Amino acid sequence: MMFGVSLVLMFGILLLVGGRAFQLAPPMPDAVVATDGDTTDVIFTSDDIRDGRDVWRRLGGMELGSVWGHGSYLAPDWTADVLHREAVAMLDADGEFDSLSEPARAARIAEFAARLRVNTYDSETGHITVSPERAQAIAEITTHYQALFGGSGDGPEAEAMREAFAIPNAPLGPDPDEDIRTLVSWWWWTSWAAATLRPDDTVTYTNNWPHEPLVGNKPTSSIFIWTFVSIVLLIAGIGALCWFFLREREEWQKDTEPPPGYPDKSPIATVEPTASMRGVVKYIWIVAVLLGLQILLGAVTAHYAVEGHEFYGIPLAEIAPYALTRTWHVQLAVLWIATAWLGAGLYLAPMIAGSEPPLQKLGVDVLWVALVIAVLGSLAGEWLALTGRMTDPAMVYWFGHQGYEFLDMGRFWQILIFAGLLIWLGLMARCLVPAIRAGGADKHLLILLLISSAGIGLLFGAGFLYERDTHLTIAEYWRWWVVHLWVEGVFEVFATAWVAWVFVHMKLLRPSTAAVYVMFSAMIFLGGGVLGTFHHLYFAGTPEAVLALGAVFSALEVVPLALIG
């Protein structure tokens, strides 16, 4: 009961603070304009920013550099890069900055930063207004990126930089200047949010991230305060858990004594596999293949840091650039781990039920086919998108690359994976529910197994709560529901319950003891893990409450590790 109440409370806070983050997210302007007296020039429009985001997806999104700190780190963080280049261009505009004395430079930077950080967004017109000097800096940045990505101004220097960043030559085709202009608008908006103060506040929309002294971005007092608070609570949490463990240790030792009739060999080993259990073997083969491919792709991806366009002299980037191999490497890790646990659940389900439900084998086979289609289809779609063979923005989003790390696959393949997870949940439930109704000694353990199975099936659906044009802050919030709560939360509970059931039926644990242990483990996992989701969102356009909750509860996630061994 207490566990259920605490879960409802934590998810309630997660949703409440998430809703507040949506309200306080950096505004997406209708236009960015430069004013000079009576003259107003439109630099970017909202359509430019949206189109730039689509171009970003074609480059690999978070798999080629990062935005707001999320992504890969061979290419730059584009938010930080744009911000720094803009600041340097504006400070150097009059040509005098380098000749100034140190005190004069410091004074110039302080005055410049105070001016740049002013929030010029007008909610009535939907416009962000910039100075002519800033507009000129944006033009210089655009020229730089047009050369970098193979447009106007391309040359040996730009090519050397592309190789250093593992960006393929001509990644956006033969005439990319307009695409690059819109791409800059997308990155510039993220940098504007990083350097602009929230209304009536002294910190930027990204809590002063990235660190950039030229624009006054330095760690806030809240960052220091909540860092120290989290360290203190981490130490206190470890102490409290050690005290509780030692207090209960003697009683637990009695509980962990195996029940009478300790077998000399595993009862599970004597189980005759059913048709569906034998059908799980192909899942294991898929896991082995995906794991092997992931390792190979990891080696290739790492090598791109040495040769940005080649693999030991082979021009591999022409057919499999860095952004693609990294996409596949990350995605395959999620897929083989998930497939392994799905197969483990399907193998155990008939043993739990005591018999095989009708058509269970057919369900196992259909699920396997769906997974294979989704895996192969998503890999092919990503290859088409990131090698320039698929360029239509809608097609790229639906069948190619969404741009978000860990959830890179096109939306269609994501839907197919979700459908497969719902099939898996149905196959698990048709075995678990009758066993729970039978009221055996392991009833409470099976309830936990069913709840965690439902979490695996349903939480993946959080990835559908953002769409192609959803605000980046909102998209990041829901993305981390999947990545953090799915991978680092419910899978842990499922794994613990699965292993506990096996131990019970090997007569190594009593059912009541196993249920208590799984419940206790889940409380520790999720006690810090649910609100610990916020530690991924410190600088994603979220308020300082996210920083406080994320720091404290993510520190508590580490507490159980102190007692391992």
- 329-377 pLDDT, tens per residue? 999 999 999 999 999 999 999 999 989 999 999 999 999 999 999 999 9
The half-sphere exposure of 299 on its side-chain side, counting CA atoms within 13 A, is 7
Specify the pLDDT at position 1: 67
pLDDT tens across 373-394, in order? 999 999 999 999 999 999 999 9
Which of 220-254 are b and which e, b meaning 16 or more Cβ less than 10 Å from the residue's Cβ?
bebbeebeeebeebbeebbeebeeeeeeeeeeeee
Specify the pLDDT at position 523: 82
Pick the closest to residue 476 from 463, 457, 458 (CA basis): 463
Residues 6 or more apart whose CB falls under 8 angstroms from that of 285 comprise none
- Do 519 and 196 touch, CB atoms closer than 8 A? no
DSSP 271: -
Three-class DSSP labels, 86-153: HHHHHHCCCCCHHHCCHHHHHHHHHHHHHHHCCCCEECCCCEEEECHHHHHHHHHHHHHHHHHCCCCC
Beta pairing, strands 66-67 & 70-71: antiparallel
Interval 476-489 mean pLDDT:
91
Tokens 């909102």 identify what position? 474
Measured CA angle at 440 (ends 439, 444), to 5 deg? 80
pLDDT tens across 486-497, in order? 877 888 889 999
Specify the pLDDT at position 94: 74
- Do 438 and 448 touch, CB atoms closer than 8 A? no
pTM of the model: 0.95
Token couple for 543 = 């308020």
Q: How confident is the model at residue 252 (pLDDT cuts 50, 70, 90)?
A: low
Cα diameter, the chain: 92
